[in-house]
């Protein structure tokens, strides 16, 4: 990995480099995505079936697009008891963590007859997109469905691309069943997003779409936002390790590569105060790459977006980490909890040398759907909050309104909204 001294120039260049990975930079794909969306909106099932044949090489129809109970049972037989047990342990941790995020309706009643409050309501129907194809992501299934279940969503619809055999990956199906998906449809890509957003003869329209996908999925979600809600427009995965001379270079190198293996656009960054650690980590990554199955992808990822930045002070390192606002941040320093208090911007923060990033991906409980491309400065991880909405409650008695009605009327008149003022005044004009 390249080693650079951290200064304003290297930080500026790095931030500009990382921004190139944003889905907002892929305008050349938008026209083809828009065509798919328009086709599905107009032709509905017909377009979904045609695009599935074109992109996935699979013939689907109204008779086989929905996963059957028999297919789910077959999936359980293929997955086996050991992995099923692990999925259930992870699910329990995820459910327990998200249960603590629950919000409830509240009401504040006063003696004068004023009642103010907030009504919390779960969304009625949510669509969950799960990537398919060559890879299986049961962890993504759990992370996207469980907070919706905890929130109390009435119906959870999952879509995922079928394999060449026309089937859904067994681990994906088992995870969906365990987490509580109500229906699973064999469709992926932008056409699946369109089907969820607009509805077809086979797939019902949803209120919100969540879940990661490729650039076509990300741009499709961006395009349908406003017609339905979405969680976020996710970019490539990223990790930043903030370390001092006390860190174990072997651990740090392993953790950086855990994200670099996702794809060639993934970002892996070490910010450290120790040149000795920087050199050891760089050497160790080279050794690991020789052993790992996705070594070619990892190498391209590091060549494109891998950086080791050496800072003069820990304060400089922390400032850089906050500017980068990484999806995953590991703190491996002499006093990691103290450093954590100074971190403003990160999707998930992993503290200490035994809290490596994959712990969060699979098992600990916090959600692994996280803000990317610097959006951790203003976005949060996927949570129960994403699956609820809030309504304000306002109730005044005549006595309560009478005390303040002239104030409201004057306020409305100051804005030249006389009908607003009249709406209050008529209740006290004696007619």
Between CA 331 and CA 355 the distance in angstroms is 9
Annotation says 416 is catalytic: no
Among residues 98, 262, 328, 368, the one annotated as catalytic is 328
Q: Which of 261, 327, 353, 357 is catalytic?
A: 327
CA 41, CA 389: separation in Å to the nearest integer?
26
227 is catalytic: no
Per DSSP bridges, beta strands 106-109 and 115-122 are antiparallel
User: Concatenated DSSP letters for 335-404?
Assistant: SHHHHHTT----SEEEESTT--HHHHHHTSSS------TTGGGT-----GGGGEEEEEEEE--HHHHHTT
Contact 3, 279 (CB under 8 A): yes
Q: What is the DSSP string of 283-300?
A: HHHHHHHHH-TTHHHHHH
Which residues are registered as beta bridge partners of 208?
Answer: 126, 229
Token pair of 121 as six digits: 């309501």
Dihedral angle sign, alpha carbons of residues 330, 374, 231, 218: negative
Q: What are phi and psi of 101, to 5 degrees?
A: -90, -5
Contact present, 263 and 414 (Cβ < 8 Å): no
Give the catalytic positions in this structure: 327-328
């Amino acid at each position: 990995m390249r080693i650079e001294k951290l200064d304003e120039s290297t930080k500026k260049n790095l931030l500009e480099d990382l921004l190139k990975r944003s889905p907002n930079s892929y305008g050349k794909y938008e026209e083809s995505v828009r065509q798919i969306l328009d086709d599905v909106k107009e032709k509905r099932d017909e377009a979904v079936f045609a695009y599935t044949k074109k992109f996935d090489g699979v013939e689907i129809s109204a008779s086989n697009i929905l996963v059957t109970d028999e297919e789910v049972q077959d999936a359980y037989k293929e997955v086996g008891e050991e992995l099923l047990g692990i999925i259930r342990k992870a699910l329990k941790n995820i459910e327990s963590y998200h249960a603590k995020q629950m919000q409830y309706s509240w009401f504040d009643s006063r003696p004068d007859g004023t009642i103010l409050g907030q009504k919390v309501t779960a969304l009625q129907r949510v669509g969950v997109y799960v990537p398919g194809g060559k890879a299986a992501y049961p962890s993504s299934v759990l992370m996207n469905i469980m907070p919706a279940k905890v929130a109390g969503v009435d119906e959870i619809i999952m879509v995922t691309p079928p394999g060449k055999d026309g089937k859904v990956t067994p681990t994906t199906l088992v995870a969906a069943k365990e987490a509580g998906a109500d229906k699973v449809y064999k469709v992926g890509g932008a056409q699946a997003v369109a089907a969820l957003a607009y509805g077809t003869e086979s797939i019902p329209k949803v209120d919100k779409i969540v879940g990661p996908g490729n650039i076509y999925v990300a741009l499709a979600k961006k395009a349908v936002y406003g017609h339905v809600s979405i969680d976020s427009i996710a970019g490539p995965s990223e990790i930043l390790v903030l370390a001092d001379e006390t860190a174990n270079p072997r651990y740090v190198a392993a953790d950086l590569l855990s994200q670099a293996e996702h794809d060639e656009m993934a970002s892996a960054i070490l910010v450290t105060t120790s040149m000795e650690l920087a050199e050891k980590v760089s050497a160790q990554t080279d050794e690991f790459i020789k052993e790992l199955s996705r070594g070619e992808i990892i190498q391209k990822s590091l060549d494109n977006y891998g950086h080791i930045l050496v800072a003069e002070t820990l304060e400089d390192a922390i400032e850089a980490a906050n500017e980068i606002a990484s999806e995953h941040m590991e703190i491996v320093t002499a006093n990691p909890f103290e450093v954590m208090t100074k971190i403003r911007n990160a999707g998930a923060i992993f503290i200490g040398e035994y809290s490596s990033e994959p712990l969060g991906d699979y098992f600990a409980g916090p959600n692994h759907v996280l803000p990317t491309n610097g959006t951790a400065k203003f976005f949060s991880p996927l949570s129960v909050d994403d699956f609820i909405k809030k309504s304000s409650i306002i109730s005044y008695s005549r006595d309560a309104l009478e005390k303040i009605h002239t104030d409201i009327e004057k306020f409305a008149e100051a804005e030249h909204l006389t009908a607003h003022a009249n709406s209050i005044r008529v209740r006290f004009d004696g007619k």
